[in-house]
Structure formats: C-alpha cells, structure tokens
C-alpha cells in the first residue's frame, strides 16, 4: 500500500495526462510559498514542478551551468515536452532563480496562463497586509482565467481540504515518534512526494486508507539510528534508502517538501485571504525569509521531540540562500549536541557510492 505513493510520484506525468484527458486543468507551481488553495478552489489541479535526474541539455542554451540543477532540470524537462499537459505555471518570488526562471520559462514555452507572485521576505504585519493584497490580485486573475468566482465558501472548502492534508501527513509524521514505528523514512518520503503532484483529495483518501491499516506503532519493525534530514528539496529517494541500508532512519525532516510544506494549518475561522497570507508568511520559514532563527528553533524542537542522534543536511549545489545559512546551522546543531553530515546535492550526476561511504562513517560515529 505504502509503495503506491512513490509509484504515483514516479508516474506523475502519466497521471497528469490522464486528468488532462478527463477535462481537468492543471497548473504547475514552484516552491512551498505558492498558496495552492487558491488554484485548487477553481477546480484546477496544482502540481509541483520538479527537475529530473536526466541529463540536462536543452536548458543550457538558456541558463548558465552554475545555476541549481533543480531550476535547470525543471526548464529542461519543460523544453523536452514532459510538462506539455500544463495550462499555466505560477512562480512565487522566493529566490533569485525562481524570479529569473519565470522570465526564461515564459519566453520559451507558450502557455495560456502565467503568474508571478511577489512574496515578501519578512513576516511583519505590514508584510502580511502586502501579501493579502497580492493574494487578492492572484485570486482575481484566477477568476478571470477560469471564468468563475472564487467565493468565500469555495476558498474555505479548498482550505479545509489542504488543512486535512496537513493533519493527515501530521499523523504520518507522528508514527515516527515511536521507536518501532511502522514506516521507514524513505516510505514517508514517497508519501510527501506524492502529495506534491496529486489532487489533494485523492492524496488524502490514500492517506486515510494507509493510516487505517497501519499496525500498532509499538509492535512494528525495529528501526535504525534516528536521524533528521534537512535541506531544500530533492526527489532522490535513493538517498534515504541508502541511509536505511547503512543502519539509519530519517524519522523527521526539515525539508521544503516536508515539514516546511505540510505543517502549519490555515486558520479556518478568519477571513480566508488574510488567513492564507498569515499561514504562508508565518509557517516555518525557508531560508528565503528573514529572520532565519525560527527555522533553526523548529529544527531543534523536532530533533528533541523525535529524539534524533544526528542530522543529515542535504543542500542543493548553487542554492545561495541555503548555502549562506549552512555554516551557522551546522555549528548551532553541533553546539546542541547534534552531529551533522552535510552533503551538497545535484539532481543530476548523483554519486551514490560516495554518499554511502559518508553515511556509513557518520552512522558508525553516532553509534
């Protein structure tokens, strides 16, 4: 049952083509700062745009090779026609690369809908007010595109589906609190990835079924050395499988498509646009936000409650915002008694053998 999630992620393009044939509209989006609820509320399926482990060739005519493999790979996939089912793409301004990619994508791939969403870099009251205004412009443009009004009710409905997703994934994460939890880190990773590329109600239905069938967390498999995996985003499930083969287990994460995406519910009792603005600006921040401390604090809190023995930091090569925080995050974690294994990761050209050696040594050291 649990393998179905990662299978869904692996087959994401075929799945999307199926929905497309069934008459659904599909929007691609970048980053966990896109308020998908708005897209979902007009019946459009939002799917996260990802790169690939495939060689990058077509994108090189448009982006320098010293840009991150995620953005280059995503553009390359699009230029190769892998995303031909998309009706539109939404780019939130979080880093310099998403901003640049908006331009490059738009120039080279013609689509009926594009939206650039200015996301503030702070979470003050003024920033929330600003973002609420931006969300109202985004809402209007979606209404115009879809030729339907986004009512209070339809938006609240979308918010409640997304909150349910957050709470169900929260249940999955909770399993990891136990020493003999039933799901491995790589299995959970498959669940997280599937949620990025499926309609949330379908993902929720799969999650409910999975959770109903889970054995008692205290009578399950014996687990390896408890670890927290942190960083930006990657889709390389092998990475976590290698950790498990080496006797480790990522019981919790601080990842862009992990806890930073699936945590923090939207307040269903206040005005929906403002509630969305607050949730997105005040969730656990990614390094594109200022200040940086809340992310570290959250990481330490998770490390404590999940009783992890060490942290694996996986950072996308050329990801400036993460690279600036890396020395500080590493030293603060170590000060708190958490050894860190930091690796730079590229979606393409992943060297599994080298990583295995590093992880083996790291886990031996922890034990």
Q: List interacting residues with other proteins (CB under 8 A).
A: 61-64, 66-68, 93-97, 99-104, 106-108, 116, 118-122, 126-127, 129-130, 133-134, 287-288, 290-292, 317-318, 320-321, 323-328, 330-331, 344
- Residue among 77 and 242 whose Cβ is closer to other proteins: 77
- Residue among 156 and 326 whose Cβ is closer to other proteins: 326
Q: What's the closest the beta carbon of residue 97 comes to other proteins, in angstroms?
A: 6
Report which of 161, 159, 167 is spatially closest to residue 266, judged by C-alpha positions: 159
- Residue among 104 and 358 whose Cβ is closer to other proteins: 104
What token pair was written down for 360? 């083996």
Q: What's the closest the beta carbon of residue 108 comes to other proteins, in angstroms?
A: 8
Report which of 74, 32, 41 is spatially closest to residue 145, judged by C-alpha positions: 41
Q: What's the closest the beta carbon of residue 187 comes to other proteins, in angstroms?
A: 32
* Contact by Cβ (8 Å): 40, 266: no
- Residue among 292 and 366 whose Cβ is closer to other proteins: 292
Count of H-run helices and E-run strands, the chain: 15, 8
Report which of 229, 280, 268 is spatially closest to residue 31, judged by C-alpha positions: 280
- Residue among 62 and 166 whose Cβ is closer to other proteins: 62
In Å, how far are 101, 259, 294, 327 from 291, measured between CA atoms? 25, 18, 7, 16
Report which of 319, 322, 351, 343 is spatially closest to residue 71, judged by C-alpha positions: 319
Q: What's the closest the beta carbon of residue 323 comes to other proteins, in angstroms?
A: 4
Q: What's the closest the beta carbon of residue 99 comes to other proteins, in angstroms?
A: 6
- Residue among 170 and 327 whose Cβ is closer to other proteins: 327
Label the pairing between strands 225-231 and 113-118.
unpaired
Q: What's the closest the beta carbon of residue 325 comes to other proteins, in angstroms?
A: 7
């Amino acid at each position: 049952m649990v393998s179905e999630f990662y299978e869904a992620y692996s087959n994401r393009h075929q799945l999307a083509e199926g929905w497309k044939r069934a008459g659904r509209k599909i929007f691609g989006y970048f980053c966990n700062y896109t308020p998908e609820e708005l897209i979902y509320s007009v019946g459009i399926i939002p799917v996260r745009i990802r790169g690939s482990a495939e060689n990058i060739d077509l994108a090189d005519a448009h982006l320098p090779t010293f840009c991150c493999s995620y953005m280059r790979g995503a553009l390359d996939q699009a230029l190769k026609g892998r995303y031909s089912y998309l009706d539109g793409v939404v780019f939130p301004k979080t880093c310099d690369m998403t901003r640049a990619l908006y331009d490059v994508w738009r120039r080279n791939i013609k689509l009926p809908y594009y939206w650039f969403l200015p996301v503030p870099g702070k979470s003050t009251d003024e920033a929330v007010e600003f973002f609420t205004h931006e969300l109202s412009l985004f809402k209007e443009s979606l209404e115009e595109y879809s030729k339907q009004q986004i009512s209070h009710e339809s938006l609240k409905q979308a918010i409640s589906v997304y909150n349910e997703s957050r709470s169900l994934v929260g249940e999955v994460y909770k399993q990891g609190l136990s020493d003999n939890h039933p799901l491995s880190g790589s299995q959970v990773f498959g669940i997280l990835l599937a949620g990025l590329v499926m309609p949330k109600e379908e993902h929720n239905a799969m999650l409910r079924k999975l959770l109903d069938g889970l054995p008692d967390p205290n009578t399950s498999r014996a687990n390896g050395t408890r670890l927290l995996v942190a960083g930006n985003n990657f889709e390389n499930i092998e990475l976590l499988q290698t950790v498990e083969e080496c006797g480790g287990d990522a019981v919790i994460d601080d990842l862009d498509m992990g806890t930073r995406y699936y945590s923090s519910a939207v307040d269903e009792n206040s005005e929906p646009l403002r509630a969305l603005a607050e949730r997105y600006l005040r969730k656990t921040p990614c390094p594109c936000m200022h200040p940086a401390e809340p992310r570290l604090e959250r990481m330490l809190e998770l490390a404590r409650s999940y009783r992890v023995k060490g942290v694996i930091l996986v950072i996308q090569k050329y990801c400036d915002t993460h690279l600036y925080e890396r020395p500080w995050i590493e030293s603060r974690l170590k000060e708190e008694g958490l050894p860190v294994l930091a690796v730079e990761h590229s979606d393409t050209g992943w060297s599994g053998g080298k990583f295995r050696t590093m992880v083996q040594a790291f886990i031996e050291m922890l034990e």
